[in-house]
Structure 1
């Protein structure tokens, strides 16, 4: 897998705007692309495979109804994670909805212990 600089820039721009410069957001090379973490929790990722977003178990049906969005698999399905192909993530409104849903889910997770973050 290779990185997709265009998708990375779109994700970075949206997250920066959505969080208004709040601390806790970090980027890390992961999964053959770039991943974003919020307060130590994996939030989303971008690669040439597409946009990966953590929507939460049982909270992804609306996204999976789109023909270009599938459950994310890492050898096995990862419940609550989706991957959106370019035809899906290139739609500004859909990409924003996916990222906002991921932010809402991750913000609701319990705080990580500092030694585990």
Structure 2
């Protein structure tokens, strides 16, 4: 499945000041790794947001958020955000900050 290249560029711009970002093709889309942890990505035209299991329900309740059911059942700690929920750069920034905050809480990976 192709991913939204325009959204990919917008995410790159949001992460451009970080030296610990790497892009990987994953889930049939594109994944952005931060400090060697999966942080966020794109599947089709949706933002894939890693929000973590503790905040999963509260973030899933937000407008334009939906379960990430890539495998046929919900992946706890991961959600999709539809294009309507990230149409403005400030909205995209808010979601990316949530993802970075979760990744920062994880133990370092080599």
**TM-score, structure 1 normalization:** 0.83
- Give me the CA root mean square deviation: 1.5
1:5-38 deviation digits (Å, cap 9, x = unpaired) = 110011111112xxx23x3210011112110111
**Secondary structure of the residue that 2:77 maps to in structure 1?**
strand
- Give ranges in structure 2 of 5+ residues lacking alignment: none
The answer to whether the aligner puts 1:84 opposite 2:81 as a matched pair is yes
Residue aligning to 1:106: 103
**TM-score, structure 2 normalization:** 0.88
How many residues align? The count is 109
Extract structure 1 runs of 4+ deviating beyond 6 A: none
2:49–2:95 CA contact under 8 A, matched in 1? yes
**Secondary structure of the residue that 1:57 maps to in structure 2?**
coil
- Give ranges in structure 1 of 5+ residues lacking alignment: none
